[in-house]
Every structure is written in C-alpha cells, then in structure tokens.
Amino acid sequence: WIYSICLTAISTGLRKGDICMMRKESVDLENRVLSIKTRKTKVDIEIPIMPGLYRHLQDQFFEHPDSLYVFPELADMYSNPNRQRVITENVKRLLKKVGIEETSKEVDGYARRVSVKDIHSFRHTFVYMASIHGIPLPVVQSIVGHLNPEMTKHYMDHAGRDARLAYMKQLPAY
C-alpha cells in the first residue's frame, strides 16, 4: 500500500484522503481519467492517468474486484482515525530510508513540530515537476484543485539551487 499511495500522489498531486478513499467509480480506465470531488475543497477535478499509474490501477482492479475502493487497505486504514497515523508514519519511514531524514521542524506559533516531508510532499513535487515540464499554471491548478492560483504558484516556485543550475545550463551561450 505504500507503493500505491506514493505512486498515486506523485502521479496526480492528490491529497492523502483523496487517494485512500478513491472509489473505483472515479476511475475511467478506458479514457484514462480520474474524476474526483476533492475531500478538502469539494472541487470537481479530472486528472489524466499517467502510464505507470494506469498499469497499477489495472492491477488494483484485478486484485480487488469486489471492493468499492481502488485501494481497499488504504480505505480501511484511513476510515479508522486511530489507524490514519500508520499511513503517515510508514511513508515517513520510507522517506528516511531513502535519505530524507528531517521530516518535521519547529515553527513559531505552533505547539508541536510541523511535518514538512510526508505524503503531502508528493503533491508539491507533482506541481513542481509539472511546472518544469512546461504545463501551464491554470492546467496544473485545475488538476490539483487549488481554489487560489497563488497556492499553485507557490508550489511551482520550489526551485532549489541544483534545479536552477541544471536549467540554466540548457540556455545557449550568448
């Protein structure tokens, strides 16, 4: 299920709840489109299904033919408030295994540490990758369901030093 949530998040920009509770009726494999009303903002979105995710969704439909949910194990965990934390903790554990150590930080005004590297990070990554591949802001905004284009723009502007250097090298020598 960790593969399922990570692949879906990086391929769609969906939030954790939208992935976990995704119903099969939201998935149009024939036309390769996900049609979802987001849980947080209640926005209707349509997301083209990328090839890797398409294959995985086909497998899920085959493996769980009687379930209403695409990812029944995730739906079960997410439906239980005591088990929702298991999803986040396991994804954070995966991030640490691949070298992303600091998954939370102290923030002024908050009583506890704030998560900065978790499932939601895949949403940021999706938006950023879409922007560096030239997908226009309004298209990305419509896919992720942001109500405000400034939020989408904020995610698109995460270019770090390495990214700036890599892309500047693509410019011609004047």
d(CA 61, CA 47): 18
Nearest to 69 by CA among 24, 7, 36: 24
pLDDT for 164: 66
* Bridge partner list, 35: 46
User: What is the reported pTM?
Assistant: 0.76
How many other CB atoms are found less than 10 A from the CB of residue 42? Answer: 9
pLDDT for 17: 93
Could you say which residues of the chain have pLDDT below 50? none
pLDDT for 80: 93
pLDDT for 170: 76
Provide the CA 125 distance to its chain's centre, in angstroms. Answer: 8
